[in-house]
Chain A
Amino acid sequence: MPGSGRDERAWVRGAQAGSASDLEALFRAYWPRAFRAAYLVAHDAAAAEDIAQEAFLAAIRALDRFDRRRPFGPWLHRIVVNRAIDWSRARTLRAELELHDVPVEQPDRSDADRLAAAIAELPEEQRAVIVLRHLLEYTPGEIADLLELPRGTVNSRLRRGLDALKGEL
């Protein structure tokens, strides 16, 4: 779980000064949700690893320019979610020549698995706002800022996405 705002600022300050332990604290606090958010949008564990890892590498490259008064989480999550959306779009557009396993309905799947499968069926834009709202717990206004969308668009995507998931919830 992410630490308090004070912890986070201290970790960022320490990481900027070269402290490996502060960097590790920051990584351990933010990796789980960044990775999970990328997975829920991209629905591919390897891609999620790459996306979340690239987001952290981007954070390190920009570490010296990072304004410590701003929270780290939204900045990282913006990168993760936008890259996951881009990845999902690219996969949709790609003509995949390889043969893939055909998913088979499994009668003993858990509720969580069914929810994951249902989210995977949503368009990537709806997946992204569902993840930002209900996993990362941003308000619709904050999501609108993160994704640079009108707030009404965020609300309508949320509504449509939740309607589609209603059966699994």
Chain B
Amino acid sequence: MRRALERIEIPGEHEARERAWAVVQAAHAGREPQPRSRTLVRPLLVACALAAAVAAALSPPGRAVIEDVREVIGVESAEPALFSLPTEGRVLSVSPGTAWIVHGDGSSRLLGPYRGAAWSPFGRFVVGTTRLQLATLEPDGDKRWSLARRDVRRATWGGTRTDTRIAYLAGTQLHVVGGDGRGDTALIDAPSLPRSPLAWQPGRADRLAYVVDDVLRVVSTRARGEEAWSVDVPGPLVSLEWSDDGSRLLALSRRQLAVFVPGRAVSRTTLPRGTVGVAAAFEPGSRRIATVIYSPRLDRSDLRLGARVRFSGSGRFTGLAWSPDAEWLLVPWRDADQWVFVSTDGSRRIRAVSRVSAQFDGFPRVEGWIADEEE
């Protein structure tokens, strides 16, 4: 009977094992190893070791050892620096007060002292924000134009190849300006606006989504903000993003992931009890969704693809980004000071890079992974 049961073929058995191993390995790498078991002589040894450790810690090599010990959270096999991305494209990241572009070969370009940044729709430019300025930049950091405004945040660039717009918040106002810097207009003014993410519908230069007073509104920016449709959302959103074809809009709050088509929800999924939403994004060219959720009670984060956990670790993942070919997900793991690259079909080993803060002058947010520019 046992042999008969073991002969039953299970679809995808090998792939399931390798996917699960990647998750289990990462979870194990993210835990604190248990100290060796106690013996009767242990108290004496501990006392001696403590004295030695205090002395050693005062020396530079001793400090280095302590730094190593602190790195027990994280992927064990992480590379010591970002030598390359696992696939094509460029990553836009923002560490506290500094924006960077990371290229496929691992080289990084410092864009300047920006506290927020976003790609233009086709990755030819970047919009950066300081507290008092909105600026558009070439990927090498050269400034094209800028606008002086107060309390600038959440700049988002959308549109077509021939017509683009930048939406941004200035204080409690939502502004829209042309991609060439002309025609800056305040669309609305609302006290709850500063908490709202902004999202341009792909393929159009006039359709913008934002949230005011727990109502998700999609408006025409050409028609002075006339509403195209709206739906209720449960509380502040942490992610608001369109699918590539512009047909669906996802909204992630702390407790719920909802997907909308014009005027109605096609799904509303309550997150597992005791967890909060951190980030969500559609797969490029698809309606599949990756999410990062965090459990405060367990102090644990999960990266999920659909309903399945792809990667798990202690502490916080602070976001996610799909690679342009949809083969990898980049997860910034703040507590491990690592960037983790997870293969989306589980066929390749997890790749990780440690000491990210040292490379970017602080632990960076990831603001998008976009295809290389066409020649």
Contact = CB atoms under 8 A, between A and B. Distances in A.
B17 A32 contact: yes
Contacts of A113: 8-9
Interface stretch (A11-19, A97-105, A140-148): A11-19
A93 B32 CA distance: 40
A63 interface: yes
Given A31-B21, A50-B308, A36 B5 contact: yes
Nearest to A65: B34
Contacts of B23: 53, 57
A49 B1 contact: no
B20 A115 contact: no
B319 to A, nearest CB: 22
B16 interface: yes
Interface residues of A, number: 39
Contacts of A64: 31, 34
Nearest to A136: B2
B16 to A, nearest CB: 4
Interface stretch (A2-10, A39-47, A78-86, A149-157): A39-47
The A contact surface, by secondary structure, is helix
A135 B6 contact: yes
Interface centre among A15, A53, A134 (most CB of B within 10 A): A53
A60 B26 CA distance: 10
B188 interface: no
A54 B2 CA distance: 25
A111 B1 CA distance: 12
A112 B76 contact: no
B11 A57 contact: no
Given A18-B72, A57-B312, A45 B33 contact: no
B29 interface: yes
A70 to B, nearest CB: 15
B35 to A, nearest CB: 8
Interface string B33-67: 11010000000000000000000000000000000
Contact of B28 (A15, A32, A39): A15
Interface centre among B8, B10, B312 (most CB of A within 10 A): B8
9 contacts: A20-B25, A20-B28, A20-B77, A24-B21, A35-B16, A50-B308, A52-B20, A54-B309, A57-B23
A36 B308 contact: no
B24 A56 contact: yes
Contacts of A46: 308
B24 A45 contact: no
A63 B7 CA distance: 32
A115 B19 contact: no
A122 interface: no
Interface string B272-316: 000000000000000000000000001000000001110010000
B8 A31 contact: no
Contacts of A134: 1-2, 5
Interface centre among B12, B31, B36 (most CB of A within 10 A): B31
Contacts of B13: 35, 45
Contact of B16 (A16, A48, A60, A63): A48
Contact of A135 (B2, B72, B77): B2
A63 B31 contact: yes
B27 interface: yes
B4 A112 contact: yes
Contact of A56 (B4, B8, B10, B20): B20
A121 interface: no
Contacts of A31: 17, 20-21
Nearest to B30: A60
Contact of A63 (B5, B11, B20, B34): B34
A164 interface: no
Given A111-B4, A134-B2, A23 B12 contact: no
Given A27-B24, A49-B20, A135-B6, 15 more contacts: A15-B28, A20-B76, A36-B6, A36-B8, A40-B8, A45-B16, A49-B16, A56-B24, A57-B23, A57-B24, A57-B27, A115-B4, A115-B8, A134-B2, A134-B5
Nearest to B16: A49
B16 A17 contact: no
A131 to B, nearest CB: 7
Contacts of A56: 20, 24
A53 B312 CA distance: 11
Interface in A110-130: 110-113, 115-116
A137 B5 CA distance: 12
B20 A112 contact: no
Nearest to B35: A17
Contact of B27 (A49, A60, A111): A60
A16 B27 contact: no
Given A27-B21, A52-B20, A135-B5, A45 B29 contact: no
A7 to B, nearest CB: 18
Contacts of A169: 1, 4
B5 A35 contact: no
B20 A17 contact: no
